[in-house]
Structure 1
Amino acid sequence: MSTEEVKKVQAPAASAVADEGDDHDGGVEAGESEEPQAYFEPVVKLNEVEVVSGEEGEDVVFTMRAKLFDFRETLLDKGTGKKTWCERGVGNVRFLKHKEAGKVRMLMRQEKTLKIIINHLVESRAELTANMGSDRAWVWTCYDFSEGVVEPKTFALRFANAENAQAFKEAHESAKKNNKALEAGADAADTSAGDEAAKALKNLDVKKD
């Protein structure tokens, strides 16, 4: 085979490598821009809106993921008085302490939707009881405000394990003690120094020039 014939045979192979390189680069030479230059005015302009959660004046003192159940009438049993445990949602149950008032409330939002499913102050008389003897679920009653009106509720929270359930119970007990102390007036500031200053001011003899 002559030299020219060898060159003719090898030529398609070289062309194939070049084509592969073109496909890899999208068929565009280096430095060439494919970005569109046209500008379209948006049909609807949305203004930035500040979202207020209602939690700005509170500190999170505890958070734990759990599943919430509500002991209530189903839609089919509405008005019959028959109640059953209904799953209400999964999310983080939290204890929030108000920065000024000092009271602690329990708040839980449903994952993804962020809908409030628990919202009430931790009552100093509230008691957690084990659900059917389980070591990872607690039941309690309260006056809840999650639906926009205060109503008596019976809730149950189920945690991933017994350790998480115990941690929740300890945080709940701590919140109860905190709120009970506030109800007893322990949040009142020590005014003894102010009283002494007022007494001294009262006895002060002010002379006119």
Structure 2
Amino acid sequence: MESHDFSRPDDHTAMINLILFAILGLALFGSFIVLALQGSPRSLPDSSAVQAVTEIINLEGSSFSNAKRLLDDTDYQVLCSNPDLRRLAERLRNERRRLALTWISLLQNDLITLWRFRRFLIQRGVPSNVREELGTLQALVLSLVLLIFLRLSIHAVGPFALPRATRQAGRLVDSMSKGAALVLGRIPTAGWAEIERSWVKSAA
């Protein structure tokens, strides 16, 4: 009787998972780009207002400058190539996962803080309109949802599976920061110091 040598189920499962996460990575990458473009204000804020926002608000997630290094798997692959160092490679992977999850959490906090700062400005009488605020709220919610999915993917497959999409996460905070700077720019620069004092007092 002729025997048929089907591929092993484990190989099929691994291939399916690889394809699914590749699709997920592309979808997340595209979503980050779209959200970054939608979340950015139609008119660019003054550079001094952008700088003022970063000075008034401590944005811990967006200030992290080594995301590319954190998500680079070169060191991990080098360690994995040596059987004697695979345990060390696993420790490196777990540590990078922990750091990546911490970074994503900081980005989530940055987004919420920037939205709160924007609301703080508007409550003090800075002009805005309903359409602008609804668009900002929509961008905030979708950005937070994307970061949640990103956290889940890092939990499931580690920090090296979707490096391009993960690196783009910081752009969401950049867009929200520019929106807050645009609102701050509607206040004369002479009043920014008072805004900072009031914000620090309200956040304490």
Class of the TM-score when normalised by the shorter of the 2 chains = under 0.3
Q: Which has the higher strand share?
A: 1
> Larger Cα Rg: Structure 1 or Structure 2?
1
Q: Which has the higher helix share?
A: 2
TM-score by length of 1: 0.22
